[in-house]
Structure 1
């Protein structure tokens, strides 16, 4: 596997298993995630599977998910920022 870096083509991530939430809608506007061999997490837009993949550490993903669950980003959905 090539050196992993954020913004690399998702097509270069051979052998990873991409998955999306069970809450994903049929229109294809979804974020997909994949665990990488080194423990980091890749994310991509399901509508552009060969486009860029963003690469995060597990610690970064954990911090983001905690803030999402606590409602820190709710204003991005409601527009009340």
Structure 2
């Protein structure tokens, strides 16, 4: 069983990597940050709330999301 659970506080997640956000969001003050976890999953948090909850996703879930984003499936949400 994973030590990571959905909704756990982002600031208590211990992992080898760091929280990463898109370079185009630097200075914008609000973005989504991702962090690769030690068990291979990926945590996602809102940068405006760095100690807030994180959602935990499997690699296939993240791959599906990124594929959809790259394919423009979510472009309508930014308008």
Please report the TM-score for the alignment, with normalisation by the length of structure 1.
Answer: 0.85
Task: Please report how far the alpha carbon of residue 12 of structure 1 lies from its aligned counterpart in structure 2 after TM superposition.
Answer: 1.6
Please report the TM-score for the alignment, with normalisation by the length of structure 2.
Answer: 0.87
Counterpart of 1:4 in structure 2 is 4
Q: Structure 2, unaligned stretches of length 5 or more?
A: none
Tell me the alpha carbon deviations over residues 7-57 of structure 1, each in whole angstroms, 9 at most, x when there is no partner: 111122024411111111413111111100000000111111110011000
Q: Structure 1, unaligned stretches of length 5 or more?
A: none
RMSD: 1.5
Alignment length (residue pairs): 77
Query: Which secondary structure does the structure 2 equivalent of 1:47 belong to?
Result: coil
Alignment partner of 1:40 is 2:41:
yes
Counterpart-to-counterpart distance in 1, 2:49 and 2:41: 21
State the 4+ residue runs in structure 1 displaced beyond 6 angstroms.
none
Counterpart of 1:14 in structure 2 is 14
State which structure, 1 or 2, has the greater radius of gyration over its C-alpha atoms.
1
Query: Which secondary structure does the structure 1 equivalent of 2:23 belong to?
Result: coil
Counterpart of 1:60 in structure 2 is 61
